[in-house]
Amino acid sequence: EAGVAQSPRYKIIEKRQSVAFWCNPISGHATLYWYQQILGQGPKLLIQFQNNGVVDDSQLPKDRFSAERLKGVDSTLKIQPAKLEDSAVYLCASSLDGLYISNEQFFGPGTRLTVL
Protein backbone atom coordinates (compact mmCIF):
# COMPACT_ATOMS: atom_id res chain seq x y z
CA GLU A 1 0.00 0.00 0.00
CA ALA A 2 1.38 3.38 -0.96
CA GLY A 3 2.03 5.80 1.88
CA VAL A 4 1.25 9.48 2.24
CA ALA A 5 2.95 11.47 -0.50
CA GLN A 6 4.11 15.05 -0.15
CA SER A 7 5.82 17.50 -2.46
CA PRO A 8 8.08 19.29 -2.67
CA ARG A 9 10.46 17.79 -0.11
CA TYR A 10 12.40 21.02 0.30
CA LYS A 11 11.62 24.66 -0.42
CA ILE A 12 13.59 27.82 0.14
CA ILE A 13 11.89 31.19 -0.28
CA GLU A 14 12.35 34.76 0.80
CA LYS A 15 10.06 36.40 3.32
CA ARG A 16 6.88 37.87 1.90
CA GLN A 17 6.87 35.32 -0.92
CA SER A 18 4.15 32.72 -1.23
CA VAL A 19 4.52 28.93 -1.21
CA ALA A 20 2.26 25.91 -1.61
CA PHE A 21 2.60 22.34 -0.43
CA TRP A 22 0.79 19.32 -1.78
CA CYS A 23 -0.32 16.13 -0.05
CA ASN A 24 -1.82 12.91 -1.38
CA PRO A 25 -3.15 10.73 1.47
CA ILE A 26 -3.43 6.98 1.60
CA SER A 27 -6.25 5.81 -0.65
CA GLY A 28 -9.54 5.51 1.22
CA HIS A 29 -8.49 7.62 4.19
CA ALA A 30 -11.23 10.08 5.10
CA THR A 31 -9.24 12.23 7.51
CA LEU A 32 -6.30 14.41 6.50
CA TYR A 33 -4.12 16.49 8.80
CA TRP A 34 -1.51 19.19 8.29
CA TYR A 35 1.04 19.65 11.09
CA GLN A 36 3.80 22.21 11.51
CA GLN A 37 7.01 20.99 13.16
CA ILE A 38 9.42 23.72 14.18
CA LEU A 39 12.98 22.59 14.86
CA GLY A 40 13.30 21.15 18.36
CA GLN A 41 9.55 20.93 18.91
CA GLY A 42 6.86 18.35 18.42
CA PRO A 43 4.43 18.62 15.52
CA LYS A 44 1.50 21.01 16.02
CA LEU A 45 -1.79 20.54 14.22
CA LEU A 46 -2.66 23.30 11.77
CA ILE A 47 -5.80 21.90 10.19
CA GLN A 48 -7.83 18.68 10.09
CA PHE A 49 -10.16 17.66 7.26
CA GLN A 50 -12.83 15.00 7.29
CA ASN A 51 -13.39 14.23 3.60
CA ASN A 52 -13.55 17.75 2.12
CA GLY A 53 -14.85 19.49 5.26
CA VAL A 54 -12.78 21.23 7.94
CA VAL A 55 -12.99 19.65 11.40
CA ASP A 56 -10.44 21.79 13.23
CA ASP A 57 -8.50 24.83 12.05
CA SER A 58 -8.22 26.57 15.40
CA GLN A 59 -4.42 26.78 15.25
CA LEU A 60 -4.16 27.83 11.61
CA PRO A 61 -2.92 31.44 11.21
CA LYS A 62 -5.70 32.34 8.85
CA ASP A 63 -4.30 35.74 7.94
CA ARG A 64 -1.53 34.02 5.98
CA PHE A 65 -2.23 30.28 5.84
CA SER A 66 -4.93 28.57 3.82
CA ALA A 67 -5.68 24.96 3.02
CA GLU A 68 -8.14 23.08 0.89
CA ARG A 69 -9.04 19.51 0.17
CA LEU A 70 -11.09 19.51 -2.98
CA LYS A 71 -12.97 16.29 -3.74
CA GLY A 72 -11.89 14.89 -0.38
CA VAL A 73 -8.61 13.44 -1.61
CA ASP A 74 -5.52 15.58 -2.28
CA SER A 75 -4.86 18.67 -0.23
CA THR A 76 -2.81 21.84 -0.61
CA LEU A 77 -1.50 24.12 2.11
CA LYS A 78 -0.54 27.67 1.15
CA ILE A 79 1.36 30.39 2.95
CA GLN A 80 1.04 33.95 1.65
CA PRO A 81 3.03 35.96 2.58
CA ALA A 82 5.65 33.90 4.37
CA LYS A 83 7.44 35.09 7.50
CA LEU A 84 10.77 34.01 8.93
CA GLU A 85 9.00 32.15 11.75
CA ASP A 86 7.25 29.91 9.21
CA SER A 87 10.51 28.02 8.69
CA ALA A 88 9.59 24.48 9.71
CA VAL A 89 8.77 21.02 8.42
CA TYR A 90 5.18 20.71 7.24
CA LEU A 91 3.82 17.23 7.77
CA CYS A 92 0.76 15.73 6.19
CA ALA A 93 -0.93 12.73 7.79
CA SER A 94 -4.02 10.69 7.06
CA SER A 95 -6.19 8.20 8.91
CA LEU A 96 -9.09 5.97 7.99
CA ASP A 97 -11.59 7.98 9.99
CA GLY A 98 -10.56 10.64 12.49
CA LEU A 99 -13.79 10.27 14.41
CA TYR A 100 -12.38 7.15 16.09
CA ILE A 101 -10.11 8.18 18.94
CA SER A 102 -7.46 5.50 18.54
CA ASN A 103 -7.28 5.69 14.79
CA GLU A 104 -3.67 5.54 13.66
CA GLN A 105 -2.38 8.49 11.69
CA PHE A 106 0.11 7.78 8.90
CA PHE A 107 2.61 10.51 8.17
CA GLY A 108 4.25 11.63 4.96
CA PRO A 109 7.95 12.51 4.74
CA GLY A 110 7.28 16.22 5.18
CA THR A 111 8.26 19.39 3.35
CA ARG A 112 11.11 21.34 4.87
CA LEU A 113 10.51 25.08 4.36
CA THR A 114 13.24 27.64 4.87
CA VAL A 115 12.25 31.30 4.81
CA LEU A 116 15.17 33.71 4.34
Partner 1 sequence: GDSVTQMEGPVTLSEEAFLTINCTYTATGYPSLFWYVQYPGEGLQLLLKATKADDKGSNKGFEATYRKETTSFHLEKGSVQVSDSAVYFCALSDREGGNKLTFGTGTQLKVEL
Nearer to partner 1 among residue 40 and residue 63 (C-beta): 40
Nearer to partner 1 among residue 18 and residue 59 (C-beta): 59
Least separation in angstroms between CB 82 and partner 1: 23
Least separation in angstroms between CB 14 and partner 1: 26
Nearer to partner 1 among residue 14 and residue 85 (C-beta): 85
**Interface residues with partner 1 (CB under 8 A)?**
3-4, 33, 35, 40-45, 48, 55-56, 91, 93, 98-110
Nearer to partner 1 among residue 80 and residue 103 (C-beta): 103
Can you tell me the distance from the alpha carbon of 74 to that of 18, in angstroms, rounded to the nearest whole number?
Answer: 20
Least separation in angstroms between CB 89 and partner 1: 10
Q: What is the three-class DSSP state of 78?
A: strand
β-sheet bridge partners, residue 21: 77
Least separation in angstroms between CB 55 and partner 1: 6
